[in-house]
Chains A and B, each alone.
Chain A
Amino acid sequence: MSWSTTLPLLIVGSSLLPGLAIFFLSEERVVSRTILNLTGAFLKLVLVGAMLWGVSHGHHYETRLPLLPELDLVLRAGPLAMLFVTLSAGLWLVTTVYAIGYLEGSPHRSRFFGFFSLCVTATVGVALAGNLLTFLLFYELLTLSTYPLIIHRGTEESRRAGRVYLIYTIAGGALLLLATVWLYTLTGTLEFTVRGFLSELDTSLHPTLIIIFVLLIAGLGVKAALIPLHGWLPQAMVAPAPVSALLHAVAVVKAGAFGIVRIVYDVFGIEFTASLGLTLPLAILAASTVIYGSLRALFQDDLKRRLAFSTVSQVSYIVLGVAIVGPIATIGGLVHLVHQGVQKITLFFCAGNLAETLGIHKISEMNGVGRRMPWTMAAFTVGAFGMIGAPPLAGFVSKWYLGLGALDAGQSWVMIILAGSSLLNAAYFLPILHVAWFKAPPDSWPMERSFGRHETAWALLAPPMVTAILVLVLGLLASAPFSPLEWARLITTREFAP
């Protein structure tokens, strides 16, 4: 096996093997577990960096393992895959550091970190999947590996949230499986292909293809939290903060959104999808989700719940960018895959810090918290302004390309959606910043833990600081080589080239 056929496997294995090893470690083996966790995360990042370099220089990486007759398990690195893989690998490292700090002293850490690693393995598998079957396998592995993380606390509330999550995602997975099998019977292939592989099919099959498309979007829309399939996401926020960060920024919702991108571009092909009349309904669904999520976020007092509804809204920008049909909007949608992830993980880290350090869970408890935890709230402020779309932060770049793409594609109505969404984002984030920075703090916090002269533990503070800086850098240096924006441009050039 050559380097180009081994590398995808190594990237998947770099979290799978440490994850499996961690399961067998006893609870007291803190150092061994930490070493395994961090080694896996660093190794994955290095390998992804090497692959990124290779792909940018035109190298081809593919692992093909026989799985079923005429159907292989395929891992392939292309520009689109690299966008998601890099996001997952980068954010997994910071989330691992955060989780180590967050779970310090709590029970069942081996179980937690084992599933945590499996979850990232599945995410990377979803990203690198070279055909729909491989995608489906890792997509289901993702469901199964995140369920134990959601119910990790073992409370009744978390078990209930876990059940709801499982029902939604398994139902979604079933739809996806049905559509995949149906598609295979029609075409005899499931290989992801640039510009899709269905446009050559006979026109008499078009109604069937429309049904398959709807099934696929419904299956993927569960994880992407498109309305009305989003019900599990706000409930799943009972999970520990690192899991919420993983669900909202790195793994689950991103896998759903990424899946929709794959289906539209590499199964149906964007032009063929548009010719079937499917893009406008998809755009309307995404726009409705954008507005609905924001409206629901507006009325939540629970901080993580507000952030969860914000995710419902923000992830649909990705789908909206794809459904607008045009190169510029596609750049906006794809780049938001990364930008939303970095911004949202910052916000969840900060929410976790507030909960762990001061016992704050509700916005109404946040009065004056900026004075007690200035660095955490500074990071939160950067993340929130990024979500609102204030320049020069990452979120602005996404909204810029979405708006410009909508105008370019003659879909001016999207401008109204963007304006409304920005307004709602401001309406639900600015009051948080107002109470945190400008209201007087209470005499005592709900459940304060002292960390000496530091506002919180370094392992909890460093990750949001790093990701907040990243939010700024991704916006400020958007046009730099290897930036997500440049990758999105590369992918779009390939997809829309004449």
Chain B
Amino acid sequence: MNEIMTAFLLISTPGLPLLLAIPALRLPLPWSVHIALLPATVLLFVPGSPAIKLPWILWGGVGLGIDEASRWWLAMSVMIWIAAAILLRTHADHSNNNSPRLTTLILLTLAGQIGAILATDMASFFTFMTLMGYAFVSLMILDGDKKVHRAGQLYLVLLVFADIVLFEALLIAAASTEILEFAAVARAIAQSTSPALYLSMAIIGFTLKAGLWPLHVWLPPTYGSARPAVALLLWVVPVATGLLGALRWMPLGVISAPVPGALLQAIGTATILYAVLFGLIRVQRKLLPAYVAIVATGGFVMGLGTGLIYPAVWNQYGSWAPVFVALVGIGLAIMIASFVWLEKMGFSSSVSNNVSGVVLWIERWPKATIIWKRLSGIDYVPKLLAAWIARWGELWQSHAWHRAFDVGEYLLQRWAFALTLFLLLGMVSVVLLLP
């Protein structure tokens, strides 16, 4: 009986939101998102690692289950989805004729995201992730202002590319093994003579999905302009599920792949540096979660890269990866909720939240050094060095950097440019990774 109940729970966790999504197109049920979350919430408290296989679904069967990693992801998702659903109701504009479509899309996104978390094989994961991706991007486009609309369109293009690349990775995996369960694929890829093509496809696919530099540009405008409920979902839906995909699809702890690992570390480092330099120093309050998310993503990807280079390290510390993602998710949710509260209390979110002290210190220290030396009578700095210090100071003038970054962001937000850049990076990666 317990087994039947568990199977029912596993099926209904993504199934119930799917079922509720259909009538929502015409007339959404009240509290439908909360109702849809019930099986997932109950599932969190089911002990052990239950799993089921539905052999008659799809072309090779669908596997659903919950293990240690997915339990963290599911716990974070349930908490954030509940918060998002509450915010959605609080901010609901009942005269809004988008309401039925909005509810449908939210339920489809929920079904896809939770299904991806529970998927125990690549085909199921890919199926649920595709549903989630297109539903969420529709949600962004439907719900947002012009900026979000544009960001949504950019993300849609990236999503199409990501799905195609991941489809190819899936085919390569299926050509290596008949069983597409994550563990079996990891073993098969580890034993294959050239895992590089598969790894490069997976890296490219999830880089596109999760918003890593330089393809993060859809994320800040969405955080800045989307309604709070959608902003809450930005980490948990596209980013965290993309990271889960990377975690599941890569043969971490099974294979030592120094070049792909180093590539991931490089992407992660670039993402962190970019987000810190551009984002965290000077952004508006509402954009802060975006850059925190980007930094966290970069950190996670660096961890994945390390895991690919040193499988033993991954086997020892890899179990902390889900905890990291869950904590970032909850932290971001609290941050966004605080901003909503601050806004309610009358603190405008449009006020620039520059870390002025830091910026001023960075801008002024070279000049201050020279003045101090003159005043203290130790002005024996050679002229050339003084000139370099002054020049360094000019370079550190934050507005000069900001302008450069603004130009970069502007270009990257032109999807054609971003994609060209990305394709070039992809080609270089594939060439580097191929033996």
Chain A residues close to B by CB (< 8 Å) = 370-371, 374-375, 378, 385, 389-392, 397, 399-401, 403-404, 407-408, 415, 419, 422-423, 426-427, 430, 434, 437-438, 475-480, 485
Contact = CB atoms under 8 A, between A and B. Distances in A.
Contact of A438 (B100, B127, B142): B142
Identify the interface centre among B26, B130, B171: most chain A CB within 10 Å of its CB.
B171
A475 B126 CA distance: 14
A427 B149 CA distance: 18
B59 A397 contact: yes
A434 B153 CA distance: 9
B172 A479 contact: no
A478 to B, nearest CB: 4
Nearest to A331: B59
Given A392-B127, A423-B160, A408 B59 contact: no
13 contacts: A370-B101, A374-B25, A400-B59, A400-B174, A401-B59, A407-B175, A423-B164, A426-B160, A430-B160, A476-B58, A479-B55, A479-B56, A479-B59
B365 interface: no
Contact of A390 (B57, B101, B130): B130
A389 B25 CA distance: 23
B160 A479 contact: no
Contact of B172 (A370, A378, A397, A407): A407
Contacts of A407: 171-172, 175
Contact of B171 (A374, A404, A434, A479): A404
A391 B58 contact: yes
A390 B175 contact: no
B156 to A, nearest CB: 7
Contacts of B161: 423
Interface string B81-112: 00000000000000001001100000000000
Contacts of B97: 371
Across the A-B interface, give the 10 residue pairs with the lowest CB-CB distance, nearest first.
Answer: A391-B127, A407-B175, A478-B59, A403-B171, A426-B160, A392-B127, A419-B164, A438-B141, A480-B56, A422-B164
A391 B172 CA distance: 17
B168 A419 contact: yes
Contacts of B160: 422-423, 426-427, 430
B339 interface: no
A397 B156 CA distance: 22
B167 interface: yes
Interface in B148-166: 149, 153, 156, 160-161, 163-165
Contacts, number: 80
A271 to B, nearest CB: 22
Given A403-B171, A407-B171, A477 B141 contact: no
Nearest to A392: B127
A448 to B, nearest CB: 18
Contacts of A426: 160
A479 B58 contact: yes
A476 B167 contact: no
Nearest to A426: B160
Nearest to B174: A404
Nearest to B61: A479
A426 B58 CA distance: 22
B138 interface: yes
A202 to B, nearest CB: 39
Contacts of B142: 437-438
B246 interface: no
B348 to A, nearest CB: 29
Contact of B59 (A375, A422, A485): A485
Contact of B101 (A399, A430, A437, A475): A437
Contacts of B165: 419
Contacts of B127: 391-392
B134 interface: yes
A430 B59 contact: no
Interface residues of B, number: 34
Given A404-B175, A408-B175, A415-B171, A391 B56 contact: no
B60 interface: yes
A370 B130 CA distance: 21
A404 B167 CA distance: 11
B301 interface: no
Contact of A374 (B26, B56, B172, B175): B26
Contacts of B138: 437-438
A419 B172 CA distance: 13
Contacts of B61: 479
B20 interface: no
Contacts of B167: 389, 399, 403, 419, 422
Identify the interface centre among B100, B141, B142, B174: most chain A CB within 10 Å of its CB.
B174
Contacts of A390: 130, 134, 163
Given A390-B130, A419-B164, A438-B141, A479 B25 contact: no
A324 to B, nearest CB: 13
Given A378-B25, A404-B175, 7 more contacts: A374-B101, A391-B123, A399-B167, A419-B164, A430-B160, A438-B141, A438-B149
Contacts of B126: 391
A139 B203 CA distance: 50
B164 A477 contact: no
A280 to B, nearest CB: 21
Contact of A475 (B58, B134, B172): B58
A390 B149 CA distance: 23
Interface in B23-44: 25-26
B64 to A, nearest CB: 14
B58 A415 contact: no
B57 A477 contact: yes
A437 B104 CA distance: 13
Contacts of B55: 479
A363 B56 CA distance: 38
Nearest to B127: A391
Nearest to A400: B59
Nearest to A420: B164
Contacts of A434: 141, 153
Contacts of A437: 101, 138, 142
A477 B142 CA distance: 31
Contacts of B164: 419, 422-423
Nearest to A406: B171
Given A423-B164, A438-B142, A392 B171 contact: no
B156 A430 contact: yes
Interface in B203-227: none
Contact of A385 (B59, B123, B134, B141): B134
Contacts of B172: 407
A209 to B, nearest CB: 34
Contacts of B175: 404, 407-408
A435 to B, nearest CB: 11
Nearest to B59: A478
A403 B138 CA distance: 28
Contacts of A378: 25
A404 B171 CA distance: 6
B262 to A, nearest CB: 26
B201 to A, nearest CB: 10
B384 to A, nearest CB: 55
Given A374-B25, A419-B168, A479 B141 contact: no
Interface string B412-430: 0000000000000000000
A390 B55 CA distance: 20
Nearest to B156: A430
Contact of A479 (B26, B57, B168, B174): B57
Nearest to B26: A374
Identify the interface centre among A391, A397, A415, A423: most chain B CB within 10 Å of its CB.
A391
Interface in B110-129: 123, 126-127
Nearest to A374: B25
Contacts of B174: 400, 404
A131 to B, nearest CB: 34
A58 B194 CA distance: 44
A254 B265 CA distance: 51
Contacts of A375: 25
